[in-house]
Structure 1
Amino acid sequence: MKKEVEELEDELRSEYDFSKMAGGVRGKYVERYRAGTNLVLLDPDIAKAFPTDTSVNEALRLLLQVAQRQQPKNPVGAD
């Protein structure tokens, strides 16, 4: 097994010299990650119509309101 370890070569390219990287902050985005994310990729035509997250949220809330009004008060079989 020791022979296998000795035969391994460094496959990283020279441009990946991590010793030259400075200023990195460990855990910089950890709080955002813990808060959770829900990213959605919009098709270009939809993104053009709804250019901000606020406009998307408003449209979806309106759609939810319309959908809730369309649901019957007493669905069949919900006794």
Structure 2
Amino acid sequence: MRKDYDFSGAKRGPVVKSPGKKRITIMLDDDVIEAFRKKAEAKGTGYQTAINQALRDALFAEAPLTADTLRTILRQELHEV
């Protein structure tokens, strides 16, 4: 049966693309990821969605997003867990 398949033109990656999204690599602390996983599980969503929403909220907040502001937001998110 293996001879029936031709993968010479195949490409790696998701079968269905996610429009409006881009895959990146980012290094986050273990405790941050775990906190977002717990928060997301409680809400019934994915942790990447929770991180994306936290970044979106910070980005579109009236105050400019600075390193101090981001730290404050992350501390608040971690404190809620």
TM-score computed with the length of structure 1 as normaliser? 0.41
Larger radius of gyration: 1
Higher relative CO (CA 8 A, sep ≥ 6), structure 1 or 2?
A: 2
